[in-house]
């Protein structure tokens, strides 16, 4: 009706003037208040921009959710939105997307390209797209792309970009080698061992904590009221459509299972391993002379003793054939019988004699042992092909306003009631809600929705499934009065008082130790039991020495003392007795692996510096409001 009125009014001269004036005012208002962003292209749907490349909200949201799901699979626990942001995961994902966009623009500016043949070979060689006979399957390729939300064109474009980025990275960091001096420093930091004397100070060592007064507790409560606040709780119905929910291993025949087993037998095969010992010689002549002595009756161990090689230094390790990087050593070691000694071998680091002390032959787990596992895999693979069709049927039912409970019953899929739960997955009784299908994406969706809202399905990137949910109840966040949380307040007050007194007592004991008193005498005066730990590594975590204590130990000079928080509210008093580092032997497999890892880390730093320089040249801008929208951050 309004549009009809405007058209009617605009028929006359006066009406045309009025309408022109009205739209002129509106256009001016748009320009003043920023609605022009819509026309300029940099608006609410753009999270960031580097050079001419834009990163949209959906691109950011998808990448962020995938990263959280990867973290959940790695740690095998639920990751709340607060935890993900506290870890900086949102900024890490944005940084990676900006880096990718920077490399893409750089490759384009340099005129780099990837041939269609390269991409075709990359796809054909991918094991994921092969059938049971080990050949590329167009049907499997299209099925996997469809269930993961890709078209053939979009997948090829992604692969082309990935190859170009890799090639550009190789141009920048290729051929880099870590200097020997840096290898030795890194090895020293990595392999340093420490011996410590320590004593555990239980919470009771803090002494008697006088009962707090009502006024003390109320002051403590008022200063930390937010810590005792009840969060918002939500309850929701959740319907998950995944290969696991649809799979039925009982319907997989023995014939089909055996066919899959034969096609993937390598997955059930443990490669042959050999424990290899080595004696190195300065030249081939001395190696031949030693071999002649062995032929004359001397033993490998006697030769090692003559050359002052300690028994502990003889063994290189236990390896599969692929794990020995030196071809000459690899071929010689895997040609020997158990306990036999090789002829002189020209390794990459000189002439050596080898002995194989133990051979573990290749082992293939028989079909009977893995039959159930294989059937479950086949069933899941078949179920994946049903997901798209069933998703469409469920969406049709959702469009007709049918409740999730009825849809679940109609298609024989279990419906789960989740909650009441907070955004940290905590229940009102203090227990934890079981992980949700879809993880953080589902949790965020539940807390971003409202009662009666018809929510979009969440696509699960890891298996192509979907999750639907309906919020059924919302219990708002509230301040809990002092009387309701008095017991919790007193418990926290006592914990804080105990930690404070225990820390002060530990400082006194550390001062006495650093002044020269013996650890035994100081510990005895405090009623503590002395313990020792030897061969302690920087990354070690032991029941008696948690990770934070080990970090404190390695941050303390040898001969000095310190303390750190222990378990159950106690502390650990310690003295560093010694710090030792084994010589860096570059010929071992462990050293080779370490150098590769160190080279990779330094190469990554070099690439990051290059990307930062390019971003400074191209220009980077971030739309913080859109960024928070994409990652579920709090709005200002």
Whether 507 shows a pLDDT value over 80: the answer reads yes
Mean local confidence (pLDDT), 335-354: 88
Q: Is the pLDDT of residue 632 over 80?
A: no
Q: What is the pLDDT of residues 88-119, one digit of tens each?
A: 888 888 988 988 888 888 888 888 888 888 88
Residues 6+ apart with CB under 8 A from 87: none
Provide the edge-to-edge strand list for the sheet that holds 350-360.
Answer: 315-320, 273-281, 350-360, 345-347
Q: Quick check: 457 and 468 in contact, CB under 8 A?
A: yes
Q: How many residues does the chain have?
A: 636
Quick one: residue 4, left, alpha or beta (phi over 0 = left, psi -120 to 50 = alpha)? Answer: alpha
Three-state DSSP class for 359? strand
* Mean pLDDT, residues 597-601 taken together: 73
What is the rounded CA–CA span in Å between residue 512 and residue 504? 13
Placement of tokens 């995944």 in the chain: 242
Which CA distances in Å does 505 have to 203, 526, 527, 549, 563? 11, 9, 13, 17, 10
Asked whether 30 and 36 are in contact (CB, 8 A), the reply is: yes
Strongest mean pLDDT among 173-177, 239-243, 361-365: 361-365
Confidence of residue 157 (pLDDT cuts 50, 70, 90): confident
Separation of alpha carbons 571 and 119, rounded Å:
58
Handedness of CA 286, 288, 292, 295 (dihedral sign): positive
In this prediction, residue 78 carries a pLDDT of 67
What pLDDT, on a 0 to 100 scale, did the predictor assign at position 591?
A: 65
CATH number for the domain running over 272-361: 3.10.50.40
Instruction: Judge contact between 442 and 467, C-beta under 8 A.
Output: yes
CATH number of 46-175+607-631: 1.10.4030.10
Does residue 487 or residue 10 have the better pLDDT?
487
What pLDDT is recorded for position 486? 92
Same fold? 46-175+607-631, 272-361? no
Q: What percent of the residues of the chain are helix, what percent strand, and what percent coil, each to the nearest 5?
A: 55, 20, 30
pLDDT in tens, 54-100: 888 888 888 888 888 777 777 766 677 777 877 888 888 898 898 88
Two tokens at 103?
């490399």
**Structural domain spans, the chain:** 2-40, 46-175+607-631, 193-228+484-580, 233-259+376-475, 272-361
Extended beta strands in 77-208, E state: 193-201
Using the 8-state DSSP alphabet, how is residue 635 labeled? P
Residue 611 · residue 107 · CB < 8 Å: no
In the prediction, which pLDDT does 385 show? Answer: 67
User: In this predicted structure, what is the pLDDT of residue 383?
Assistant: 66
pLDDT value of position 42: 42
What backbone torsions phi and psi does residue 542 show, to the nearest 5 degrees?
A: -120, 155
Q: What is the mean pLDDT of the chain?
A: 81
Instruction: Return the sign of the alpha-carbon dihedral for residues 39, 44, 46, 52.
Output: positive
pTM of this prediction? 0.45
CA pair distance 26, 191, nearest whole angstrom: 70
Query: Beta 561-565 vs 273-281: how paired, if at all?
Result: unpaired
Whole-number percent of the chain with pLDDT over 70: 86
């Amino acid at each position: 009706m309004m549009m009809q009125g405007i058209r009617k009014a605009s028929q006359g001269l006066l009406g045309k003037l009025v309408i022109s004036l009205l739209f002129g005012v509106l256009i001016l208002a748009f320009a003043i208040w920023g609605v022009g962003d819509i026309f300029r292209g940099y608006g609410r749907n753009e999270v960031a921009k580097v050079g001419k490349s834009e990163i949209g909200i959906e691109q950011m949201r998808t990448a962020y959710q995938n990263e959280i799901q990867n973290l959940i699979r790695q740690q095998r626990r639920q990751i709340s939105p607060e935890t993900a942001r506290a870890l900086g995961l949102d900024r890490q994902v944005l940084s990676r997307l900006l880096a990718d966009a920077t490399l893409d623009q750089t490759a384009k500016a340099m005129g780099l390209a990837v041939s269609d043949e390269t991409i075709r070979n990359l796809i054909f060689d991918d094991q994921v797209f092969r059938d049971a006979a080990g050949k590329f399957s167009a049907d499997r390729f299209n099925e996997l792309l469809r269930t993961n939300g890709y078209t053939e064109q979009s997948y090829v474009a992604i692969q082309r970009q990935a190859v170009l980025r890799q090639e550009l990275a190789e141009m920048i960091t290729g051929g880099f080698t870590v200097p020997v001096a840096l290898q030795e420093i890194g090895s020293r930091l990595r392999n340093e061992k420490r011996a410590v004397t320590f004593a555990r100070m239980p919470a009771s060592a803090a002494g008697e904590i006088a009962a707090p007064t009502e006024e003390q507790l109320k002051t403590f409560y008022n200063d930390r009221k937010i810590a005792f606040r009840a969060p918002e709780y939500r309850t929701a119905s959740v319907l998950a459509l995944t290969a696991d929910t649809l799979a039925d291993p009982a319907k997989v025949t023995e014939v089909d299972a055996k066919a899959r087993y034969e096609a993937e037998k390598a997955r059930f095969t443990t490669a042959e391993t050999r424990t290899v010992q080595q004696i190195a010689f300065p030249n081939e002549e001395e190696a031949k002379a030693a071999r002649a002595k062995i032929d004359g009756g001397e033993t490998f161990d006697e030769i090692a003793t003559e050359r002052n090689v300690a028994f502990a230094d003889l063994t290189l390790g236990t390896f599969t054939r692929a794990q020995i990087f030196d071809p000459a050593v690899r071929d010689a070691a895997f040609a020997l019988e158990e306990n036999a000694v090789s002829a002189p071998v020209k390794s990459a680091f000189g002439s050596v004699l080898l002995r194989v002390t133990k051979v573990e032959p290749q082992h293939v787990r028989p079909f009977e042992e893995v039959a159930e596992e294989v059937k479950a895999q086949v069933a899941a693979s078949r179920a994946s092909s049903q997901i798209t069709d069933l998703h469409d049927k469920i969406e049709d039912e959702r469009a007709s306003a049918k409740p999730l409970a009825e849809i679940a019953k109609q298609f024989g899929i279990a419906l789960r009631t989740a909650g009441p739960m907070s955004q940290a997955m905590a229940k009102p009784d203090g227990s934890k809600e079981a992980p949700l299908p879809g993880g953080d994406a589902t949790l965020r969706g539940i807390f971003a929705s409202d009662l009666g809202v018809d929510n979009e399905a969440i696509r699960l990137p890891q298996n192509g499934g979907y999750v639907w949910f309906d919020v059924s109840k919302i219990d708002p966040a509230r301040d809990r009065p002092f009387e309701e949380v008095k017991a919790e307040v007193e418990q926290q007050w006592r914990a804080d008082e105990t930690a404070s007194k225990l820390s002060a007592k530990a400082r006194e004991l550390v001062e006495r130790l650093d002044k020269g008193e013996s650890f035994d005498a100081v510990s005895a005066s405090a009623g503590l039991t002395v313990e020792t730990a030897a061969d302690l590594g920087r990354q070690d975590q032991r029941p008696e020495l948690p990770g934070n204590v080990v970090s404190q130990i390695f941050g303390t000079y040898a001969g000095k003392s310190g303390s750190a928080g222990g378990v159950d509210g106690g502390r650990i008093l310690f003295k560093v007795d010694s710090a030792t580092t084994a010589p860096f032997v570059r010929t071992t497999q462990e050293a080779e692996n370490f150098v590769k890892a160190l080279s990779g880390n330094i190469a990554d730093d070099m690439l990051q510096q290059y990307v930062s320089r390019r971003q400074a040249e191209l220009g980077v801008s971030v739309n913080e409001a859109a960024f928070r929208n994409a990652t579920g951050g709090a709005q200002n």
